[in-house]
A and B are shown apart, each in its own frame.
Chain A
């Protein structure tokens, strides 16, 4: 009954959009035709959600063919640049929330400020995602979903080492050392597996001790990784990594779930959906399902949690798209109540609206909770350059491999960030 209600309301919504779009009413919804190209990121939405969205869309627009193309995160910057540069860009694109500002500022995305109210829950969208879509006061995308990180741990390993999830960073080190001692016969054992380039997981430690990536004043950005707070956070993290992690100090987090599933790791810092990868029959080990627990990344102040990076994706419509109305209608279908609920319940991600935050149950509740104390990278059109230049991962590698002392590594990274963020 409920589903039907949602379906009807979505249909009504789409009709409303179509009516608004057609203005004079020269044509009706059903006669619009063409091919809509949609770029979604590989692994974002479960196939069932995408198929369901397309099926619902087909009912409303029977003459429109939707071509969903899944893109890989690794090369997405280059793909988007060339895609938007062409005269026939994809109509709908999923953009990592740190990338929107760059493309909006460059004129690649349609300004949808006037259409905001046509999307479900636009009044209760997650603030951090809405901020990522807003450039110079204008809305350039629709929040899609969010992800925040917490620590996934092996309950059985904790039990046999006689430890409990810690509630402070000092506690994390102590617990980790006990786990290392309890598993000293395993040369591959990591109490906390932390690959060197995993910068998303390093940010909470920086923020928790009062540091930041960059601060803005008078329209100018100033890198602040070399501030005393940032350095203190990195010192703490560096100590954790050197005593608890056997992960590749020059590697990234791409393989961490597969590594965790092999059974030589007690804790990883991960997104909620990674539980699914760890217990996947092909990529991981389904037997671990009831051995996994999660707790928030602790703060240096006992009993509190560290602020985490709120990752996520937004959906934008290309400015050069010749099917902007259809594109917005497709986005409205995917981000409507019905499919957004599925994204949370089937996909395990944090939905785009605070009104659905009660959907997180079990282990997912920890990740939903972490999202409440979350922060974001500098919201600048040049941030993507900082990301693509690997400034923070390179700094972390230099620190963890002890190629450079923390003050020098942070100074060099901070200067680079200042230059890149203020670049034209």
Chain B
């Protein structure tokens, strides 16, 4: 094999390795992004949701969180350390207060910090109507940490960022 061929083979191998790493990195990003999509889908609530769907969604929300996970919000009952079961119970209670609810995520920026950890910054917007008819429209910046546990990305830490600090 000539020197030219050897150089070409090395360059090709390096390019393939870089493409593989890029693909693997992108794959993890997509998997993290999918967890956010799941969370928004399960938290959201349509009018006249069936009881079976309500129970399934509340149960499913808990499966997206690590044991334990930490939440920091402006509401005391939604702040602290929780188990997945407690997250499910809290989510069920919060969802029961709404007749209609939509959670959407915007400007999601994901950083894979190492093989088993990721960080995300995003804006979450919650719109809906309480059972007493009051309308809700809240947007907050969130900072989340996710850990890869048994090949699944789970939320381990979520906190509201105070963009406007009184």
Q: Indicate, yes or no, whether A interacts with B.
A: no
Interface residues of B (CB under 8 A from A): none
Interface residues of A (CB under 8 A from B): none
